[in-house]
Amino acid sequence: MTAPSLTHVKCADCPIRHRAVCARCDSDELELLDQIKYYRSYEAGQAIIWSGDQMDFVGSVVSGVATLTQTMEDGRTQMVGLLLPSDFVGRPGRDGAAYNVMATTNVMMCCFRKRPFEKLLDETPHISHRLLEMTLDELDAAREWMLVLGRKTAREKIASLLAILARRDSSFDKANFQTESEFELSLTREAMADYLGLTLETVSRQISALKKAGVIVLEGKRHVIVPDMGRLLEEAGDDSDGGLLA
């Protein structure tokens, strides 16, 4: 179940202690990866990639939060992915970007030049294997989100999003299942609305409602405390474990 992580592998020579590809790589392969690797930072609000642009790299988020969004001509936008640290960006085998990628907070990306990375992929089965696994995980996540978008109420949508963020945030440790969690809410109300297929007003109202009901506690506007994760998952309409133990 816990395959060698493609990310979050400590790396002695890397200032941010982040090796963005594969724990199973031998030192020659890591050498190759280092040669095609570079870091790049983006400021909050800045575009990382515009839909349709040529993409000459793939990579993964080291720190910060970025979003994948799709837009219709009339301006309606839908977030189709949330990129948290360790998430992969880019599509080997295709040049044009299919989505807008925006930095929500300041973002540090670990990038690999695309052509050499694709070459490496062809020559190194376990990297390609791991990438397949990650893509299948993303597909599962996207499909879970389709249920949220299609069938959940506004309140359930908000609770689902908060549950995801709580789960992904460092302070929540799923192995040592704890009922309390606490995290920084790095999305604006509008970004949440775009993720949930709602308006920002509805997001604000439902957050207030969850606050009033004691499901969450807000410190300031952005710091969220969840006194009881079970309660939050109930509000999200998830079955008891909410996929946390999956």
Partner DNA sequence: TCCATTCTTTGACCCAGATCAATCGAGTAT
Partner DNA sequence: ATACTCGATTGATCTGGGTCAAAGAATGGA
Choices 78-86, 124-132, 163-171, 200-208; region in contact with DNA by CB under 7 A: 200-208
Interface with DNA, residue 104, by CB under 7 A: no
Type of residue numbered 16: I
Type of residue numbered 136: L
Interface with DNA, residue 220, by CB under 7 A: yes
Q: What is the C-alpha separation between 63 and 67, in angstroms, rounded? A: 13
Which positions from 109 to 148 touch DNA by CB under 7 A, shown as an x/- string? Answer: ----------------------------------------
Interface with a second copy, residue 146, by CB under 8 A: yes
Q: Rounded to the nearest whole angstrom, what is the least distance from the CB of residue 202 to DNA in the complex?
A: 3
- Picked from a second copy, DNA, none, the partner binding residue 188 (CB below 5 to 8 A depending on kind) is DNA
Q: What is the C-alpha separation between 205 and 218, in angstroms, rounded? A: 14
Residues in CB range of 179: below 8 A, 6 or more apart: 227, 228, 229, 230
Site for DNA in 30-89 (CB under 7 A): 45
Helix axes 154-168, 200-212, angle to 10 degrees: 80
Q: What is the C-alpha separation between 66 and 48, in angstroms, rounded? A: 9
Give the residue carrying structure tokens 């079970």. Answer: 230
Interface with DNA, residue 173, by CB under 7 A: no
Choices 1-9, 119-127, 164-172, 213-221; region in contact with DNA by CB under 7 A: 213-221
Q: What is the three-class DSSP state of 88? A: strand
Interface with DNA, residue 179, by CB under 7 A: no
Interface with DNA, residue 154, by CB under 7 A: yes
Give the closest residue to 157 by CA, choosing from 203, 218, 188, 201.
203
**How is 156-192 classified by DSSP, letter by letter?**
HHHHHHHHHHHHHSTT--STT--S-EEEE--S-HHHH
Question: Of residues 142, 222, 223, 225, which one binds DNA by CB under 7 A?
Answer: 222
Applying CB under 8 A, which residues contact a second copy?
A: 68, 70, 72-74, 76-78, 80-81, 91-94, 98-99, 121-122, 125, 128-129, 131-133, 135-136, 138-140, 142-147, 149-152, 196-197, 237, 239
Applying CB under 7 A, which residues contact DNA?
A: 45, 153-155, 188-190, 197-205, 207-208, 218, 220-222
